[in-house]
Amino acid sequence: MMTSEGAPVSSDEQAYDPAGHGPSVRQDPRFAGLPCRPGKIVAVHLSYASRADQRGRRPEAPSYFLKPSSSVAATQGTVERPAATELLAFEGEVALVIGRPARHVTEEDAWSYVGWVTAANDLGLYDLRANDKGSNARSKGRDGYTPVGPELLDASIIDPAGLRVRTWVNGELAQEDTTAGLIFSLPQIVADLAQHLTLETGDVILTGTPAGSSVLAPGDVVEVEVDAPTAEGSPTSGRLVTTVVQGEIGFDPGLGSLPAVDDTQRAEAWGSREAAGLPGEDAAADDAAADDAAQEGAARPALDPEVRDKLLRVPVAGLSQQLRQRGLDNVTIDGVRPLHPGAKLVGVARTLRFVPNREDLFRSHGGGYNAQKRAFDAVGEGEVIVIEARGESGSGTLGDILAIRAHANGAAGIVTDGGVRDLDAVAAVGIPVYSSGAHPAVLGRRHVPWDHDLTIACGGTTVQPGDVLVGDADGVVVIPPGLVHEVVDAALAKESEDAWIAERVAEGHPVDGLFPMNAEWRARYDAWRQER
């Protein structure tokens, strides 16, 4: 038997009727929501901006993995969470069903090769995810882990940017987004795949999930619906319903990798550390930071409001001069410039360290709730995030989302000896930022976010948590907290003296003997001060 597009159908299946009568009754109910058993199922790793922002990483190009057709499940059925596992996660998605073979097609023509659209749930077991290394063969290829259906929508009458996907768990809406929120359009995904392999009639493309994916427990009921609200008649796939049941069979330790989870997998499965019931900061990092602080005396007291007010009135050049007079020459963060030259930066340091990118280390430390995100989540009011990027400006060390997060937390500013991406958007946030310049590339091009709240090197100088940072158009200076009162008072006194000298020069006096002041001019200045 052949489908209407000329694709063969196995003897235990009936052809799909494209006139809208739906799939015929077939012996295998798993494929009731599809025109035939798919030859292959291709899934997109990360495609929605909302999901990418949640994960803290945005891909520059789509990437894919394959799921076996044996993972397809009935449109109303159950899915098993295996024994001794905990992280079965749902992902509501728009599923594309190929209507005719596609190979080397343009993005403009790609949508014409899509026959139908429906709903899918790209279920995955995060307990098995780490050892899959991105292939997801075990974590997402299990029987029943790709429910699809129940109704097929005619793709020819649908705007590919006008689809909506929604997911409910136990009757409560958990996910909602539209394909307008995709990083990569649906036609782009089809055309990209078709330049690598032949998409055959009946093949299914799972186009990624938006933010809101989380963990299911036995007894939970998850429903997914895809519709086209702006299309004539508002066609809908109907609700794809799956109930989670507890499995009784575990894994044989003699055959392969066993389930294993850590806090990173828990946070990604649940959607955030908070949703997973984890503390806002990694405990190991906190312990290490506490050890560093105890060993180095690096407490982070809040800056006294009176001292802060004085620091706001003193130029960095004056503070630098006073520190040099006390034997501290290496206290300027060199090579950084302000995004807002007219804004003053005053705050207490909170530190973050990047190490040079190494692919295996970025895989282990670059994703999920990494040190960069922990630092920006943890920064407090009046604190300055100081980033060690080794002066490497060949990628961004922060963008607008993290700048917004720091600003919302009341941070006093950000200093990085690396680059900034989304420069205009970061500048628009309004928080004082000092950097080595702009660069469009993402973090992983040059850096791995490694740890935070420890002694670092930024712009050629050492910065410890608790140090006081002051920045203006001249640059940024680092003041040891034990010297800040002495230094700022001395700098204010020197500013008053320099202002008086400037007035005398403006009156026509020569600088010889006045700058610096000899005994005569010093006596006149002291008399002026006493009068005031």
**What is the DSSP annotation of 51-101?**
HHHHHT---SS--EEEE-GGGEE-SEEEEEE-TT---EE--EEEEEEESS-
**Phi, psi at 396, each rounded to 5°:** -75, 145
Per-residue pLDDT of the chain (532 residues; tens, 9 = 90+): 333 333 333 333 334 444 343 444 346 889 999 999 999 999 999 999 998 887 777 888 899 999 999 999 988 899 999 988 889 999 999 999 999 999 999 999 999 999 999 999 999 999 888 777 678 999 999 999 999 999 999 999 999 999 999 999 999 999 999 999 999 999 999 999 999 999 999 999 999 999 999 999 999 999 999 999 988 899 999 999 999 999 888 777 666 667 777 787 788 888 888 777 777 644 444 444 444 433 333 345 678 899 999 999 999 999 999 999 899 999 999 999 999 998 999 999 999 999 999 988 888 788 777 889 999 999 999 999 999 999 998 899 999 999 999 999 999 999 999 999 999 999 999 999 999 999 998 877 889 999 999 999 999 999 999 999 999 999 999 999 989 999 999 988 887 777 777 888 888 888 887 777 788 777 877 777 788 7
Beta strands 345-356; 447-452: pairing state: antiparallel
Cα dihedral 152, 155, 156, 158, rounded to 10, equals 110
Beta strands 337-338; 433-435: pairing state: antiparallel
pTM for this prediction: 0.52
Residue with tokens 């052809």: 15
Q: What is the C-alpha to C-alpha distance for residues 386 and 374, in angstroms, rounded to an integer? A: 14
**What is the DSSP annotation of 178-223?**
EGGGBSS-HHHHHHHHHTTSPBPTT-EEE----TT--EE-TT-EEE
Q: Are 438 and 421 in contact (CB under 8 A)?
A: yes
SS (H, E, C) 454-476: CCEEECCEEECCCCEEEEECCEE
Would you call 5 helix, strand, or coil by DSSP? coil
Cα dihedral 235, 181, 149, 20, rounded to 10, equals 30
Beta strands 345-356; 383-388: pairing state: parallel
Q: What is the C-alpha to C-alpha distance for residues 372 and 512, in angstroms, rounded to an integer? A: 53
Give the model's pLDDT for residue 301: 60
Q: What is the C-alpha to C-alpha distance for residues 82 and 162, in angstroms, rounded to an integer? A: 37
Would you call 300 helix, strand, or coil by DSSP? coil
Q: Which amino acid is at 494?
A: K
| End-to-end Cα, the chain, rounded Å | 104
